[in-house]
Structure 1
Amino acid sequence: MPLSDHEQRMLEQMERALYAEDPKFATALEGNELRTYTRKRVYQAIAGFLVGIGLLMGGMVAQFIALSVVGFLVMLGCAVVAVTGWRKSPPAGEGQARGEGSGGRQRGQKQRRSMMNRIEQRWQRRRDARDD
């Protein structure tokens, strides 16, 4: 069951109010900041991985086993951080900024419609389950 025109206008009005009231929070909800944060974290993990390789090699050359073990653990930890950070990152097409021209606006409307369709389907399932 699609939203009525009045409900759609109310939803758009609430979105505009959210952007006007707290644009930083609204942008965070879109996923842009999250994607930037996770990308930065992955790059830091890659740099840490390279430092771990250096420690591992340095420990092997100096024949200092403890340094090699620390290097290996640094490499392992950074690899885990990089992989988990990469998985948590939202897809590149998700959370596009508004006002990118008509193409970006149409894409945002399609995403909003699909999101609203999913919400409506969930609501309908709940109502059907409650009625049974």
Structure 2
Amino acid sequence: MPLSEHEQRLLEQMERALSADDPKFANAMRGSRHGRSARRRLAVGVVAVVVGLVLLLAGVSTSRIWLGAGGFIVMLAGAIWAFSPARGTGARTDAQPGPAAARRARPGRARRSGSFMQRMEQRWDRRRGERW
């Protein structure tokens, strides 16, 4: 059921207001080429897995080990291709710092001194002191 003209105008106004308020979120919701390329990548990977499975079964049924091994390799490559991110998608922007930067930038949290075991011993001592 198509939207009426009034509903379309309201929807466009809401989109403009959202873009003005939070452009980053609006761009994420708008849908990008990344989503299409991820779906295409998944589809190619699934096709490669199916072709590899067919080759594997053909190799097993004809007792040709090289064909079965090739089918397995094609299946493995297809699965890796389907579920690995495309190049360049792992790059971070300045607006989104990495996890190490987020740990360094936490306010109100001082850097702890000592080794891991020393900190665990201190925690243990504190807990024992609270109970006794």
Instruction: Give your verdict on TM over 0.5.
Output: no
Name the structure, 1 or 2, with higher relative contact order (CA <8 Å, separation 6+): 1
Using structure 2 for the length normalisation, give the TM-score. Answer: 0.42
Using structure 1 for the length normalisation, give the TM-score. Answer: 0.42
Of the two, which has the highest radius of gyration? 2
Higher helix fraction (1 or 2): 1
